[in-house]
């Protein structure tokens, strides 16, 4: 770390105390942000953390749908994002009108909404899910109910294979994970035959089919610790490798796709994070009526043991 970076980290730590702020970071954030954050995790963990937080300010280093979820769950706290351009290609693929059209075509269906969606789309949904609990959520829905799954067709298809449930899928996808090529992964596997292969469920099916485990980002972190393999092939966004290498210095992590990075996740840096705390920018707000309805879908997810009755 350079002297300037060290100074910025010290300023961030001191401003954090002054503002009673907490920094949440997603597993794909750049290393410097992960290292200064109070908590680094996957979407579900970040939601859970936001729901329990004792702080006046939450600085969310992730993408917009994650900060919106925190704003919905923490109406009494200020939620900040250091850069508003951190959207999510997948969440932007579905609008409220798209969802309403699907609901009109299938009026009795339960809508399961992957958290990678806007608060307005969540508000039109029955229950949210993340990559780590999607199977559990779908299994909690009575078997005689039709299910609409939005917006990720690959996570949806993966859950259909896991549960044997047929679902009506929206055709959205993650522009980062869709770039993974099965042929490239096969070459990496041939080069490292002793490696275990961990993939994110947003990957297209041929990638998931080649993996030993298909897991959320924090699931990948956990399995990387648990495995006895010395080499791990990682089929997800490359930001993940920072945490994996830091937590397992004795293991080798090999990206399945070295150019698969999410530009939105990478817009944050230490300078913007410091500026965000100094200027209290940019606050993320969700209108009260949307927030109330989106919260119902998120709360249903957070109490997954509850059987979904819609």
Question: In the complex, what is the shortest distance from the CB of residue 27 to ligand 13P, in angstroms, rounded to a whole number?
Answer: 6
Q: Which of 175, 181, 192, 266 binds ligand SF4 (CB under 6 A)?
A: 175
Q: Which of 88, 138, 232, 301 binds ligand SF4 (CB under 6 A)?
A: 88
**Which region, judged by CB under 6 A, interacts with ligand SF4, from 100-108, 169-177, 185-193, 297-305?**
169-177
Q: Which stretches does DSSP call E strand in the chain?
A: 21-26, 39-41, 57-61, 78-80, 110-114, 127-129, 147-150, 168-169, 196-199, 213-214, 231-235, 252-255
- 39 forms beta bridges with 24
Site for ligand SF4 in 3-62 (CB under 6 A): none
Q: Is 34 in the site for ligand 13P (CB under 6 A)?
A: no
Q: Is 150 in the site for ligand SF4 (CB under 6 A)?
A: no
Q: Which of 150, 155, 174, 240 binds ligand SF4 (CB under 6 A)?
A: 174
Question: In the complex, what is the shortest distance from the CB of residue 194 to ligand 13P, in angstroms, rounded to a whole number?
Answer: 26
Dist. CA 16–CA 277, nearest whole Å: 7
Binding mask 98-117 for ligand 13P (x = CB under 6 A): ------------------x-
Residue 78, classed as helix, strand or coil, is strand
Dist. CA 305–CA 307, nearest whole Å: 6
Q: Is 153 in the site for ligand 13P (CB under 6 A)?
A: no
264 binds, among ligand SF4, ligand 13P, none (CB under 5 to 8 A by kind): ligand SF4
Q: Is 300 in the site for ligand SF4 (CB under 6 A)?
A: no
Smallest Cα–Cα separation from 117: which of 95, 133, 138?
Answer: 95
Q: Which of 44, 47, 63, 286 binds ligand SF4 (CB under 6 A)?
A: 63
Starting at the edge strand found earlier in the chain, the sheet holding 231-235 runs 213-214, 196-199, 231-235, 252-255
Q: Is 68 in the site for ligand 13P (CB under 6 A)?
A: no
20, two tokens: 């009673």
Q: Which of 176, 208, 218, 224 binds ligand SF4 (CB under 6 A)?
A: 176
Q: Which stretches does DSSP call E strand in 98-199?
A: 110-114, 127-129, 147-150, 168-169, 196-199
2, two tokens: 């350079």
Q: Which residues contact 76 (CB under 8 A, 6 or more apart)?
A: none
Per CB under 6 A, residues contacting ligand 13P are: 27, 42-43, 116, 130-131, 174, 202, 216-217
Per CB under 6 A, residues contacting ligand SF4 are: 63, 88-90, 116, 174-176, 202, 237, 262, 264-265
């Amino acid at each position: 770390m350079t002297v300037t970076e060290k100074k910025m980290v010290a300023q961030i730590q001191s401003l954090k105390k002054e503002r009673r702020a907490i920094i949440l970071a997603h597993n794909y954030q750049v290393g410097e942000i992960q290292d200064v954050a109070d908590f680094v995790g996957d979407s579900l963990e970040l939601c859970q953390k936001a729901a329990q937080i004792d702080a006046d300010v939450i600085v969310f280093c992730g993408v917009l749908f994650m900060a919106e979820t925190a704003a919905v769950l923490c109406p009494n706290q200020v939620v900040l994002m250091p850069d508003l351009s951190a959207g999510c290609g997948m969440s932007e693929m579905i609008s409220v009108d798209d969802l309403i059209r699907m609901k009109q075509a299938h009026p009795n269906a339960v809508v399961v909404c992957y958290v990678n969606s806007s608060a307005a789309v969540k508000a039109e949904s029955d229950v949210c899910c993340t990559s780590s609990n999607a199977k559990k959520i779908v299994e909690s829905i009575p078997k005689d109910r039709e299910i609409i799954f939005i917006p990720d067709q690959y996570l949806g298809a993966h859950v259909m294979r896991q549960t044997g449930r047929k679902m009506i899928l929206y055709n959205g996808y993650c522009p980062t994970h869709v770039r993974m090529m099965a042929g490239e992964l096969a070459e990496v596997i041939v080069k490292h035959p002793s490696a275990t292969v961990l993939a994110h469920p947003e990957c297209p099916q041929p990638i998931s089919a080649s993996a030993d485990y298909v897991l959320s980002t924090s699931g990948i972190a956990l399995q990387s610790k648990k495995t006895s393999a010395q080499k791990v092939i990682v089929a997800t966004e490359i930001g993940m490798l920072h945490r994996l290498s830091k937590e397992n210095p004795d293991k080798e992590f090999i990206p399945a796709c070295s150019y698969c990075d999410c530009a939105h996740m990478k817009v944050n840096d230490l300078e913007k994070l410091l500026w965000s705390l100094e200027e209290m920018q940019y606050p993320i707000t969700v209108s009260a009526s949307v927030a109330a309805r989106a919260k119902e879908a998120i709360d249903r997810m957070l109490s997954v043991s509850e059987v979904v009755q819609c």
